[in-house]
């Protein structure tokens, strides 16, 4: 079974913020593949089903971002799986808005959700789909920036970004992470 975990914060206050783009991608996967997401307990919402001929569990942790690892550890232990079956979808300040990158391992890059997962699993050996949100234009604090909603202009583009993120999941499952990285990690030129 693959665990596809979208990172975010629970509650209406955070629903449309940049930090919750992982939740939105998992929500789109739920719609496209008709995998209903329902509450399992107070720690997460999840739904299981088939995606690209694999059994998957779509997960939205409800523990707030900096405690996401508690949920991931619990699920991996319960299903007797390991981190190699984990795909984490999260926002990334270091990638320009509108672009995504796939990464096999590495550090948390200052992302508290990833840091929590790495700490709970005691490994960095899991896949990430990094959804670019860019950095604030002015000297705004990054912690405040990620908790703000996308601008109206960004929202117009976000549907395509979320769609590309769901395609990245499909590519990973169908053809493996290396081919998915070759397809999605191409940097766009400044002119495009």
Q: List active site positions.
A: 19
Cα separation, 122 vs 157, whole angstroms? 36
SS3 state at 129: strand
Helices (H), the chain: 21-32, 68-78, 112-121, 142-146, 152-175, 177-184
Angle at 18 between CA 49 and CA 67, to 5 degrees: 65
**42's tokens:** 């107070």
Where residue 64 falls (left for φ over 0; alpha for ψ -120 to 50; beta otherwise) is left
User: Are 4 and 56 within 8 A, CB to CB?
Assistant: yes
């Amino acid at each position: 079974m693959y665990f596809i975990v979208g990172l975010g914060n629970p509650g209406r206050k955070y629903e449309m913020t940049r930090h919750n783009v992982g939740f939105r991608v998992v929500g789109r996967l739920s719609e496209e593949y008709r995998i209903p997401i329902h509450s399992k307990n107070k720690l997460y919402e999840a739904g299981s089903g088939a995606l690209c001929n694999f059994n998957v569990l779509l997960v939205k942790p409800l523990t707030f971002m900096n405690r996401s690892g508690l949920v991931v550890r619990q699920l991996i232990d319960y299903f007797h799986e390991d981190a190699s079956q984990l795909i984490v979808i999260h926002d990334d300040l270091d990638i320009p808005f509108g672009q995504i990158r796939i990464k096999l391992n590495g550090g948390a890059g200052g992302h508290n959700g990833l840091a929590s997962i790495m700490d709970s699993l005691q490994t960095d050996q899991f896949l990430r789909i990094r959804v670019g949100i860019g950095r604030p234009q002015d000297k705004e604090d990054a912690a405040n920036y990620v908790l703000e909603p996308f601008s109206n202009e960004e929202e117009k583009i976000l549907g395509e970004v979320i769609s590309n993120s769901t395609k990245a999941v499909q590519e990973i499952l169908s053809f493996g992470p290396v081919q998915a990285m070759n397809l999605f990690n191409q940097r766009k030129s400044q002119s495009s």
